[in-house]
Amino acid sequence: MLHFSSDSEIDRIGRGLLDRSLPKAEWTHAAHFAAAFWLLRRPDIHAMRVMPGLIRAYNEATGVPNTDTSGYHETITLGSLRSARAWLAARNDRSLHEALNELLASEYGRSDWLFAYWSQPLLFSAAARATWVEPDLRPLPF
């Protein structure tokens, strides 16, 4: 399944996250990765530092509280960014939307990919939501 047909679709999502104009209904699993890819390809932005704050601000702007049980999740965000960064580095010759469609069609594009590395109790803990927590099942491959 192709999620994106052009880099401009990814650009719209990235800019929509940045200025908090992306409709909440469009902030999907695929859109999270699109925003990550967009940020990672921008030399003027350090995605690992910037994305957490962007997501928190976007959540607040769309009425989603950032708490111990909802909203922003540090471990999922940073783990997904690491996955996206490694994916892009290995596919530097592809357009953004081609690389993103490939990731979304892979095991790392599944919303449950993190459970191969983190147990559900640890990943869904307040600690993992608030700070980076290393995987407890096996190390990340990237």
pLDDT tens for each residue of 26-52: 999 999 999 999 999 999 999 999 999
- With contact defined as beta carbons under 8 Å apart, do 50 and 14 qualify? no
Percent of the chain scoring above 90 in pLDDT: 97
- Measured at the alpha carbon of residue 82, what is the angle toward residues 6 and 119, in degrees to the nearest 5? 120
pLDDT tens for each residue of 5-29: 999 999 999 999 999 999 999 999 9
C-alpha torsion sign, points 98, 100, 101, 105? positive
Cα–Cα distances in angstroms (integers) from residue 117 to residues 26, 29, 101, 112, 134, in the given order: 27, 18, 23, 10, 9
Name residues whose C-beta falls within 8 Å of residue 31's C-beta, 6 or more positions apart in sequence: 13, 22
Pairwise CA distance, residues 13 & 88, whole Å: 18
pLDDT at 64: 97
Q: pTM of this prediction? A: 0.95
pLDDT at 1 over 90: no
How many alpha carbons fall within 13 Å on the CB side of residue 107? 6
- With contact defined as beta carbons under 8 Å apart, do 48 and 37 qualify? no
